[in-house]
Amino acid sequence: MSSLQQVNPRVRGIRVSPQSTLQSLAAHITHQITQGVQKPFKEVIDVSSGDLHKAGMKPISFVRQVLAVCLYPELLQDKNLPQDVRLRAQRLLEACDGGSVGSYTASSGLLYVQQSIAEFVTRRDAGVPSYPQNIFIPAGSQRALMIVVKLLVSGEGENQTGVLTPTPCPYTLPMLLDEAGVTLAPYHLREDRGWAVDLEELQLALKTARGCCHPRAIYISNPGNPTGHVQDRESIEEVIRFAATEGLFLLVDEVYQDSVYGQGREFVSYKKVLSEMGQEYSETVELASFHSLSNAIMRECGLRAGYMELVNMDPVVMLFADTMLCTDISTPVTGQLALELMVNPPKPGDPSYDTYKQEILFSQVTLAQNAQRAWEFLNCLPGMSCQKAMGGIHLYPQLLIPPGMIEQAKILGVEADVLYCQRLLEEEGVFVGAGCQHGLATGNYHLRLCILAPPGTLEEVLARLSSFHLRLLDRFPHHDRGVKNGQLHPNK
């Protein structure tokens, strides 16, 4: 037994996530390729997590130029850089203590950046006011969520804090909530309705949860991760009324708010809808909304910054949130500065505006076209069906896995969709996420496929996936490809 296990008994029972297992396998295969081991593919393509730069998408020029000047201020004199780049860098450096990105900031973030975020939120929500003191800037939305959840934690056993959690949900969420010491209370999204949030499912989940924990919050992902569902105003109002009636804190993940492309759909924030529902709701329902540099359309995953806005929170609780942020000292300053550029991009007439607009539009168009292309392709494969995404960066197709492979998975002690992903990675060098989720019924298998990648890369992924999938079905010739979970495949 290691010294770590002796010190912390919880380590002995820690769950290794399927994503971590697949990441280790992908790294091992990549190392083998660099060592000259022959594979039927030249490289591993990772479309599991949403790291668009790793997938081959290019960074936004304006962001990188401004950050370059901030890191090396001598470039302020470089006339080859656009004037607005140098002016923005100058303003950002003036906001840093000592005029340097090497300085600490307040635990809640740079005031200048908080002000920019508040102005962005006010513009986004058509004038609904946002205030810098309600904005906190941690190292990503996951860290922000952890802070809020820890503020809610109390009790043990049947009195332990519970959080209503969607199934499926972001693959990091179950382990994050487990680490925070809360009980997951899963509510099922309606796959037959494009992964919609359903009030009856929420009520059923709450009733079930009250037998084993004390539900105090509900987590919502809008646009959905990994489902791609985008809630309309009516659905949001329904959730808010449910939360108000049951006294639940709203944890709203809105990190894909600038990645909505479904016909007739637009992003509407929970805060905006809440503000328009009358004082009964607007002044009483507690809400935390999250956004992230890692998940915005401009995406800078490695810079690690996000923000949360707290609504209707007691000032004393706000102080506790700030105190908990102090344990991180401060979020990386370069990430905070990039966050400011995300919420306050170049404006029409600025020297960098045209290039910025073209680069952002390219990412948005690529995402929308990829979503359509992959959706059509996956629905043409036997034994696979996929709901159409309205936003976000993932598709979440359902798999009909042959019984023989399901038996193999049982023998190996893994979920069948995890084994599917392992075999796909080993045979074709494609790294997709396994769809296994807390609370899903046995026999319901999915994949998580990130679609924000260069079109050529996506085509390569789809070709390799198809090759593997058809070979797999050929290994089980007696498998009925037109039946899924006892019903006819909807596309066959």
Residue 351, in any domain of the structure: no
Six-digit token string for 316: 């004393």
230: three-class secondary structure by DSSP: coil
How many domains is the chain partitioned into structurally? 3
Which amino acid type is present at position 300?
E
277 lies in the same domain as 135: yes
- Say if residues 420 and 405 touch (Cβ distance below 8 Å): yes
Q: What is the pLDDT of residues 17-73, one digit of tens each?
A: 788 888 899 999 999 999 989 998 999 999 988 787 877 788 999 999 999 999 999
pLDDT score for 478:
52
66 lies in the same domain as 45: no
Decide if pLDDT at 314 tops 80.
yes
Six-digit token string for 146: 């952890």
Decide if pLDDT at 7 tops 60.
no
52 lies in the same domain as 66: no
215 lies in the same domain as 327: yes
Last residue of a domain, one of 317, 343, 369: 343
Distance CA 268, CA 88 (A): 29
- CATH code assigned at 120: 3.40.640.10
397 lies in the same domain as 419: yes
Distances (CA, A) of 340 to 92, 116, 223, 346, 427: 9, 6, 22, 11, 43
pLDDT band for position 10 (cuts 50, 70, 90) = very low
The per-residue pLDDT of the chain, averaged, comes to: 87
Is this structure's pTM higher than 0.85? yes
User: 292: which strand partners?
Assistant: 306
270 lies in the same domain as 412: no
22 lies in the same domain as 164: no
State the number of CA atoms in the 13 A half-sphere of 419 facing the CB.
17
Distance CA 458, CA 470 (A): 18
- Say if residues 338 and 305 touch (Cβ distance below 8 Å): yes
pLDDT band for position 437 (cuts 50, 70, 90) = low
Nearest to 299 by CA among 56, 81, 137: 56
Distance CA 429, CA 435 (A): 18
Residue 233, in any domain of the structure: yes
pLDDT score for 438:
53
Distances (CA, A) of 150 to 78, 143, 252, 289: 47, 11, 16, 16
Q: At what angle do helices 333-343 and 111-124 cross, to 10 degrees?
A: 30
448: three-class secondary structure by DSSP: strand
- Say if residues 392 and 286 touch (Cβ distance below 8 Å): no
326: three-class secondary structure by DSSP: helix
- Say if residues 205 and 482 touch (Cβ distance below 8 Å): no
Ordered alpha helix ranges (H), 210-314: 233-246, 270-275, 279-282
User: 215: which strand partners?
Assistant: 162
307 lies in the same domain as 423: no
- Say if residues 383 and 473 touch (Cβ distance below 8 Å): yes
Decide if pLDDT at 486 tops 50.
no
- Say if residues 108 and 136 touch (Cβ distance below 8 Å): yes
Which amino acid type is present at position 212?
C
Last residue of a domain, one of 343, 367, 393: 343
Distance CA 45, CA 210 (A): 43
Query: Which structural domain range is residue 483 located in?
Result: 3-56+358-488
293 lies in the same domain as 151: yes
User: 448: which strand partners?
Assistant: 433
User: 398: which strand partners?
Assistant: 385, 446
First CA to last CA across the chain, in angstroms?
53
